[in-house]
Structure 1
Amino acid sequence: MTKFLLSLHVLAAIIAVGPITVAASMFPPSARKALADPGSERAVSAVRLLHRICRVYGGVGIAVPVLGFATAMSMGVLKDAWLIVSMLLTALAAMVLLALVLPRQEEILEGIGAHDEGSADWTTTTAVGAKSTAQLAMFTGVFNLLWATVTILMIVRPGSTTGA
């Protein structure tokens, strides 16, 4: 059962977290392109698609810690320091995604939409968009770094007796 749970956990991480990290990383440069040329429906559509990927896969991503917890229980490693740190970093990554990345993506999308409707001054929209995309890129980098750290902890498992 442990191997089955571990397989599901790894698959969930690859299938759910992978697309979020890629889409979230692609969002800031794509948003800058859309802000530079708001008349380009293709650029605006790309930004909307990237945000949707982050939202949907963020929801699917809840399977990763759920399956990870089940796997840890079956392996009897719930009290190991590397696992506790991994769980805390996973929770922190989720908070970064929910509190910093997704809301900033939505703000940028609203700014692009406001310009499309002609209700915002273009200079203001561009300046705010540049600042927002820079902040978003930073928060996305933090999110990706947290997941990279969790991945390394899962592979190295400090103090593990399995020889890994």
Structure 2
Amino acid sequence: MTKFLLAVHVIAAIVAVGPVTVAASMFPPAARRAFGAPGDADALATTRLLHRICRVYAVVGVAVPVFGFATASNMGVLGDTWLIVSIVLTALAAGVLALLVLPRQSAVLETAEEDGVVEEAPGERATSARAATVRLAMVTGIFNLLWATVTVLMIIRPGSTTGA
């Protein structure tokens, strides 16, 4: 049963978390392209699609810690330090995604949609929109770094019996 739970946990992480990290990373440059190309429906559609991918796969991603807890329970490692650190980092990553990345993506998208994409001349609003995408890129980088750290901890597992 442990092998099954571990397999589902890893597959869920690949299928759910992978798309969120990629789409979230692609969102800021796509939004900047949308702001830089007034009236470009494709640029705005790409930005919308990336935001939707982030939202949908964030919900699907709940399966990752659910199966992770089940796997850890079966393995008897719920009290191990590496797992507790991974749990805390996962909670932080989820918080960054839910409280910072997704709301900021929504705000950037609303700005682009309100204006039909910001005016061609780099005015105050265009500068503000660009600054918002830069801050969003930073927050997204933190989210991705947290997930990368959790992934490394899951592979290395201090005290592991796998010999790695």
In 2, the alpha carbon distance for the partners of 1:90 and 1:16 equals 14
What residue number does 2:33 align with? 33
Structure 1 residue 122 displacement after superposition = 6.9
Q: 4+ runs of 1 displaced by more than 4 Å? A: none
In 2, the alpha carbon distance for the partners of 1:71 and 1:112 equals 43
What residue number does 1:8 align with? 8
Unaligned runs of 5+ in 2: none
* Alignment TM-score, normalising by the size of structure 2: 0.95
Residue pair 1:8, 1:67 contacting (<8 A) in 2 also: yes
Structure 1 residue 54 displacement after superposition = 0.2
Structure 1 residue 135 displacement after superposition = 0.4
What residue number does 1:106 align with? 106
User: Relative to structure 2, which stretch is displaced further, 108-117 or 29-38?
Assistant: 108-117
What residue number does 2:141 align with? 141
Percent identical among aligned pairs is 64
In 2, the alpha carbon distance for the partners of 1:9 and 1:117 equals 40
* Alignment TM-score, normalising by the size of structure 1: 0.95
In 2, the alpha carbon distance for the partners of 1:122 and 1:99 equals 29
SS in 2 for 1:158: coil
What residue number does 2:160 align with? 160
Letter in 1 for 2:128: V
Deviations 1:14-66 (A, max 9, x none): 00000000000000000000001130000000000000000000000000000
TM-align CA RMSD? 1.7
